Structure 1
Amino acid sequence: MNQHDFTLREVEVTRYITPLREGGSMPAIVSCSDDFLYVLKFKGAGQGRKALVAEVIGAAITRLVGLRIPELVIADLNEDFARAEADEEIQDLIKFSVGINLGMHYLKGAITFDRNVTKISAEEANKVVWLDAFLMNVDRTVRNTNMLIWQKELWMIDNGAALYFHHSWDNWQEMALKPFVQIKDHVLLPEADNVTDVNTKMKSILTERVFESILGSIPDEWLTDEAMNLSANDSRKVYVQFLMNRINHSDNFINQVAHARENLI
């Protein structure tokens, strides 16, 4: 997926290699029909399809901000992998995830970003902090940075905890206008000295048509919410309106970033 192409390629999982037990959702490294390795994010994991939706939206906007993120693909998982798996927990996870899941290109040899070891530019820090304040991503802290260094460059991963309003759909209109108070815990907040310039640029890029294109790339299956009686298209409209409200009232979270930085001093 290039910067302005929100179409996800489709591949088939050909081999389950190993689980990644660091995260609660237990993704796995797999090989696929295009002969590449991917980190497979299962729709049957704890946060389910909602996390996959957040990943796709987050990846598209990450690229539009001008940051690096591995390619995402739709990965089809066959039920045969469950029968071949000895671990009962993994076996159940695969059974609940048969069909289309999300793969993220595996960056072999990448290391976890550590701000005490690797210094990044203020420009990158501003982009990352703006991105996570906009997407309401609670999972980019010192404890769990969800960033990698690969080939001496910063790469973003794991946006699954973003856009958490969609787990209940309660008061989503109000949530869109809220500042993001958790930004105070962001690992790059001390380096982010000018998110306002990023915000000005992104307000000219993130249009309703862009959001509609991003949501159009997400499979209907991941967007349908039977519990809330929402069709895929209903969900798309909510996401687009949420993101439009958020960008149109971005001063709310930009001011919160400034306030959080003041409290660091």
Structure 2
Amino acid sequence: MPVNSPTGLRTVAATRYVTPFREGGSLPGLVEADDLGMYVLKFRGAGQGVKVLVAEIVVGELARRLGFRVPEIVLVELDPELARSEPDQEVQELLRASGGLNIGLDYLPGSFDYNPVVRAPEPTEATRLLWLDGLVLNVDRSWRNPNTLLWHRKLWLIDHGAALYPHHYWRADRFPADRYRFDAADHLMLPFAGALSEVDDELSAAITPELLDEVLALVPDEWLEGDEQFPGADRVRSAYRDLFAARLRAPRTWVDELEAARAARV
């Protein structure tokens, strides 16, 4: 049965692999767990590695605390023996490579990809989401790949594994953290966003050091301890704090760049 995790996220055990989602590059799958819930499982054994799972937790849970709708994120214990009943060799290999902790997002039955042309977003929500993705460097929320769902007529955010891309190398000498490139030209919400000044004041003030500590504490230590650049989970968490501090430090030139992209689109 589900247990409380030391990280604060619920932990469940996968009991049945149901089906793959072929549209996902990392081949996420639908699983049933011992709490009888259904979850979209993101595998630690996928090609992108555990840092994608770290980004899913950090960005997803930060978004939730800022008032966005995000499916519940749980830690999922996966027994590689589940691969025995799976006929697809690619899925078998992924299951066998992903024993231990993975993450799952609560499955939203009947949801479908959000299309802003069919249902225009509320302007403030669009502006806040554009700002959030600029902050976390989420390069994967475009009109081609919206990574948002419409469920019960509400917008839900999914798939944040491509965000926080500097953590794949952690080289402070590569670029200053406040200057990492974020091209908003194809962002899903750019045509619907308003001026960013008001949401910039609101959201930057809301992301306190205490809030960041709370979110970073949700990441399992074992996913951080294997980092090649920094020794130990605490040091890696400090690197994430430094990244956010640099992105939030005034003047936020990346916000000016978002505003310029928005103004050019209007």
Question: Does the alignment reach a TM-score above 0.5?
Answer: yes
Q: Which amino acid aligns with 1:189?
A: L
Task: Indicate whether 1:167 and 2:168 are aligned.
Answer: yes
Match of 1:155 in 2: 156
Tell me by how many angstroms 1:171 deviates. 2.5
Tell me by how many angstroms 1:180 deviates. 4.1
SS, match of residue 103 in structure 1: strand
Q: Which moved more, 1:216-225 or 1:48-57?
A: 216-225
Query: How many residues are aligned here?
Result: 260
Task: Please show how residues 10-25 of structure 1 align to structure 2 within 5 Å.
Answer: 10-25=11-26
Match of 2:8 in 1: 7
C-alpha contact 2:39 2:106 (8 A) present in aligned 1: yes
Tell me by how many angstroms 1:250 deviates. 6.0
Tell me by how many angstroms 1:172 deviates. 7.1
Task: Please show how residues 51-66 of structure 1 align to structure 2 within 5 Å.
Answer: 51-66=52-67
- 1:157-190 CA deviation, whole Å, 9 max, x = no partner? 0111000001111237844211643112101101
C-alpha contact 2:178 2:252 (8 A) present in aligned 1: no
Match of 1:129 in 2: 130
SS, match of residue 110 in structure 2: coil
C-alpha contact 2:108 2:151 (8 A) present in aligned 1: yes
Are the structure 2 counterparts of residues 215 and 126 from structure 1 closer, same or farther at C-alpha, using a change threshold of 3 Å? same
**Residue ranges of structure 1 left out of the alignment (5+ in a row):** 1-5
C-alpha contact 1:65 1:131 (8 A) present in aligned 2: no
| TM-score normalised per structure 1 | 0.93
Match of 2:79 in 1: 78
C-alpha contact 1:172 1:242 (8 A) present in aligned 2: no
SS, match of residue 185 in structure 2: helix
CA–CA distance in structure 1, aligned partners of residues 194 and 14 of structure 2: 43
- 1:126-172 CA deviation, whole Å, 9 max, x = no partner? 11101100000000001000000000100010111000001111237
C-alpha contact 2:230 2:236 (8 A) present in aligned 1: no
Q: Which amino acid aligns with 1:11?
A: V
CA–CA distance in structure 2, aligned partners of residues 49 and 121 of structure 1: 34
- 1:33-58 CA deviation, whole Å, 9 max, x = no partner? 11110000001112111011101111
Tell me by how many angstroms 1:21 deviates. 0.8
Are the structure 2 counterparts of residues 258 and 229 from structure 1 closer, same or farther at C-alpha, using a change threshold of 3 Å? closer
Are the structure 2 counterparts of residues 170 and 76 from structure 1 closer, same or farther at C-alpha, using a change threshold of 3 Å? same
Match of 2:197 in 1: 196
C-alpha contact 1:173 1:242 (8 A) present in aligned 2: no
Q: Which amino acid aligns with 1:46?
A: G
Q: Which moved more, 1:63-72 or 1:169-178?
A: 169-178
Match of 2:43 in 1: 42
Match of 1:254 in 2: 255
C-alpha contact 2:80 2:97 (8 A) present in aligned 1: no
| TM-score normalised per structure 2 | 0.93
CA–CA distance in structure 2, aligned partners of residues 132 and 248 of structure 1: 16
CA–CA distance in structure 2, aligned partners of residues 189 and 30 of structure 1: 34
Q: Which moved more, 1:252-261 or 1:103-112?
A: 252-261
CA–CA distance in structure 2, aligned partners of residues 16 and 204 of structure 1: 42
Match of 2:238 in 1: 237
SS, match of residue 218 in structure 1: coil
- 1:219-260 CA deviation, whole Å, 9 max, x = no partner? 011112353353211111101111122112462111011111
C-alpha contact 1:29 1:40 (8 A) present in aligned 2: yes
CA–CA distance in structure 2, aligned partners of residues 172 and 154 of structure 1: 38
